[in-house]
Amino acid sequence: MNTNHAMGVNPAAVPVRKLRTGALIPAIGLGTFGSDHVAPGVVATAVYNAIRLGYRHIDCASVYGNEKEIGASLQRLFREGVVKREELWITSKLWNDMHGKAIDSCRRSLDDLQLETLDLYLIHWPFPNYHPPGCDVTSRHPDAKPYIHEDYMKTWRQMEELADRGWVRHIGTSNMTIPKLELLLRDARIPPAANEMELHPHFQQPELFDYVVSHDILPIGYSPLGSPGRPERDRTPEDTVDMEDRVIVEIARKHNIHPAHVCLKWAVQRGQVPIPFSVKENNYMSNLRCVTEDPLTEEEMATIAGIDRNCRLIKGQVFLWKEGQSWEELWDLNGEITPP
């Protein structure tokens, strides 16, 4: 994957998805989560080069700590005439410590990104607690709090106000479960346009995937390659590796492509929007190009559907609010919201 200098991709060749509003979003984006394991400025440089070479969808978040740098890259691209603002799809997210402060949080991201509007603004996690940088999977924060629907709705009302003000074109959720989404859809004036969630061949979340699609909520998939570069704090012994799965490897061999590209083709053809992260130009450009070429067959798609291992990699242990809890409680796996 690293042997040839990356070539640009015509943005018009990249598939798109239509949101409930009729807006079109590129069906693959560049993730920017990497601030805690790459040098300062590296992600911003990747964003600049990726857009110059054909990317039009960038997934950001305040907690990644690099929105100011990305904003400088965007302004450089605008000044150079490489792209116009209306040709880009920019997403950002409200971090946990800003629940109840969505107006301030969005204003900060807009200022850092040097933008007047965001195309999509998400509540990053449904838990209103912050964990300190560097904490591992066994950590607990003394101020951690559970999901309380009435409190979440206060933040959602502020998200709706952001849409009313025109600061954001769409609002959405991330890391939600069906029970939580059911309550939100019951009470929201503006329903979520998208839900960002972990999605890869070993963690396909078919029930949640079908639920959001049936409610006209776009599934955006993070960790689409099985998150090989995720921090050590998120690694556990039971984790599996998608790109080493014999099915993925065999399909890659047949198509003469990297296993990563099998994962991305599967994601786009399934109907989700993957947002792989890479700062290596040949990698992120080959990721973009692969979804414009040589689709998987129906048989290959069905075969990949059969390798789901229900292997959640981003378990969220750092958000548990009391001792003795298991990470499963965060995800309402009994079909009900875990009580405080």
Distance, in Å, from the CA atom of 306 to the CA atom of 195, rounded to the nearest integer, reads 24
Distance, in Å, from the CA atom of 71 to the CA atom of 113, rounded to the nearest integer, reads 4
| Active-site residue, selected from the candidate residues 48, 55, 64, 121 | 64
Catalytic site includes residue 64: yes
Q: Give one word for 61, left, alpha or beta, with left for phi > 0 and alpha for psi -120 to 50.
A: beta
What amino acid is encoded at 40 in this protein? P
Residue appearing with tokens 């998805």: 17
Q: Which pair of tokens denotes residue 121?
A: 């603004």
208-221 burial, b for 16+ CB within 10 Å, e for fewer?
A: bbebbeeeebbbbb
User: Quick one: 54 exposed, middle or buried, by C-beta within 10 A (0-12, 13-18, 19+)?
Assistant: buried
Comparing C-alpha atoms, which of 183, 169, 177, 182 is closest to residue 195?
177
**Cβ 288 vs Cβ 282: under 8 Å:** no
Distance, in Å, from the CA atom of 287 to the CA atom of 272, rounded to the nearest integer, reads 15
Distance, in Å, from the CA atom of 234 to the CA atom of 318, rounded to the nearest integer, reads 9
What amino acid is encoded at 177 in this protein? T
**Cβ 80 vs Cβ 112: under 8 Å:** no
Distance, in Å, from the CA atom of 210 to the CA atom of 117, rounded to the nearest integer, reads 30
Strand partners, 121: 92, 171
CA distance to 8, 257, 262, 310, per residue, from 294 (Å): 17, 10, 10, 28
Distance, in Å, from the CA atom of 273 to the CA atom of 335, rounded to the nearest integer, reads 26
Q: List residues with catalytic annotation.
A: 64
